[in-house]
Amino acid sequence: MQTGLTRILMVVACSGVLAAGCAGDNRPSGKPETMKRGAANDNKVILFVIDGPRHTEAFDDPAHTHVPRMWDDLRMQGAVVPQFFNNGRTLTNPGHAAIITGTWQDIANDGSERPTKPTLFEYYRKAYAVAPEETYVVSGKGKLDVCSYSTHPDFGAPFGATESVGFEDDQAVFDELTAILRKNKPRLVLACFPTVDRTGHGRDYGGYLAAISQVDSLLHQLWLFLQDDPFYADQTYLIVTNDHGRHDEKNGGFANHGCACDGCRRIMFMALGPEIKAAYTASDDYDQRDICNTVAEILELSVLHSEGRVIEEIFKAAP
C-alpha cells in the first residue's frame, strides 16, 4: 500500500484487560521508513475503544444480538480482523498503552505510570508541529489521561494530546466526544468507552449485555456524524477495538479479566474509511501493536519505536 491515500479519523473504543506477561515474536515490523515533514495530510483517525466485551457476546455470537449495527451495517462498509489479540497484559491501562504506542507496556493499571514509549500523539505533533487541540484523549476512566504522552526523553509533554477524561458512562463520553469534534476539529482521537467493563465488574450480566448494545448504537451514531460533517466526511478512518476481553467460562466468567485465556486475549478489530476495503474479512492474525503502525500509515508517520506492523490487507489496492 502507498501512503498519501485518504484515511480515517480513528476513535478507539477501549476495553480493560489484565493479561499475562507477553512473549516477543519475530514478525516483520511493517514500519513506514520515512518521516514526512511539513503539513499533515487531510486524513483523520478516531480510535474507538470499547472497554472489555468478550467475543462470545460480540462478533462470535452467531445471532450478533448485541452488536447489530457493527455486524450488519458497519462491517459491510469496512474490514474486520477475526483473529486479533492483546498478547500483553490484559488490563485497561497496559492495553490502551499498547494501542497508542505499538509496544507492550507493563505499566501500572491505576493511572500512576505513563507509557515509556512515544504515543501516536507525540509522533504526530512532533512531525507536523500541530496544536495540542488537534489531538485528544476522551475517556470515561480518568486514569487513562496517562495515554496523552509518554516519558520517552525525545518526546513527552510538549508533544502530548489534550485530555478530557472522567465521565460517568458511555453516553457522557459520546456527548463530550461529539462536542469536541464539532468545536475543535481534532485529527487524531483516542476515545475510550467504559460502561461494558464497569457493568461486567459489577457482576451485572444483564447490564453488561445492555452496555454492549448501547455502545454498538453509539458507534453507529458516530459514523453517521462523521459522514455528515464536511471536515470529516470521506477523510476519516474509524478504528474499533478493545483494550482486553473478559474471562471465558472455564477461567472465571464475564465478571473479570486479566489472564491469558482466549476470552481475555481475543479482542475485536474493525476499520472503516475511504481506503478501507468494504465487507472484507482479514485472513492473517494481528495484535494491538499493529494499530499504531496502521494509523501511522494513514497519517504518513514514522513510528520508530513501535513493534507493530501495518495491517496492509485491509486497504484497497493503490491505483
Kindly report the CATH number assigned to the domain that includes residue 291.
Answer: 3.40.720.10
Mean pLDDT over 67-77 rounds to 98
Instruction: Assign 300 a pLDDT band (cuts: 50, 70, 90).
Output: very high
CA distances to 5, 183, 185, 226, 228 from 231, rounded to whole Å, are 16, 11, 7, 8, 9
Task: Identify residue 270 by its one-letter amino acid code.
Answer: M
pLDDT surpassing 90 at residue 47: yes
pLDDT at 102: 98
Q: Which residue has the higher pLDDT, 113 or 319?
A: 113
Q: Which three cell numbers stand for residue 46?
A: 478516531
186 within some domain: yes
Residues ≥6 apart with Cβ < 8 Å to 97: 103, 105, 107, 115, 146, 147
Instruction: Assign 30 a pLDDT band (cuts: 50, 70, 90).
Output: very low
Q: Which three cell numbers stand for residue 4?
A: 498519501
29 within some domain: yes
Nearest to 299 by CA among 8, 12, 77: 8
151 within some domain: yes
Distance of CA 200 to the CA centre of its chain: 20
Instruction: Assign 174 a pLDDT band (cuts: 50, 70, 90).
Output: very high
Q: Is 253 buried (19+), middle (13-18) or exposed (0-12) by CB count in 10 A?
A: middle
Question: How many distinct structural domains can be found in the chain?
Answer: 1
Buried b (16+ CB within 10 A) or exposed e, 273-282: bbbbbeebeb
Write out the residue range of the structural domain in which residue 240 sits: 11-314
pLDDT surpassing 60 at residue 72: yes
Over residues 225-262, the pLDDT tens digits come to 999 999 999 999 999 999 999 999 999 999 999 999 99
Buried b (16+ CB within 10 A) or exposed e, 260-269: bbbbbbbbbb
- As a whole number of angstroms, the distance between CA 248 and CA 310 comes to 29
pLDDT surpassing 90 at residue 20: no
Mean pLDDT over 110-121 rounds to 98
Mean pLDDT over 2-23 rounds to 41
pLDDT at 28: 45
112 within some domain: yes
Please state whether the predicted TM-score (pTM) of the whole model is above 0.75: yes
Contact 279, 87 (CB under 8 A): no
pLDDT surpassing 60 at residue 269: yes
**Residue 94: CA count within 13 A, CB half-sphere:** 22
238 within some domain: yes
Mean pLDDT over 168-183 rounds to 98
Partnered with residue 280 across adjacent β-strands are 79
pLDDT at 283: 95
- Percentage of the chain with pLDDT > 70? 87
pLDDT surpassing 90 at residue 6: no
3 within some domain: no
1 within some domain: no
6 within some domain: no
pLDDT at 27: 52
Instruction: Assign 40 a pLDDT band (cuts: 50, 70, 90).
Output: confident
Instruction: Assign 31 a pLDDT band (cuts: 50, 70, 90).
Output: very low
pLDDT at 39: 80
pLDDT at 79: 98
Helix axes 289-299, 92-101, angle to 10 degrees: 40
pLDDT surpassing 50 at residue 24: no
Contact 271, 238 (CB under 8 A): yes
pLDDT at 35: 38
Nearest to 264 by CA among 250, 275, 274: 250
pLDDT surpassing 50 at residue 10: no
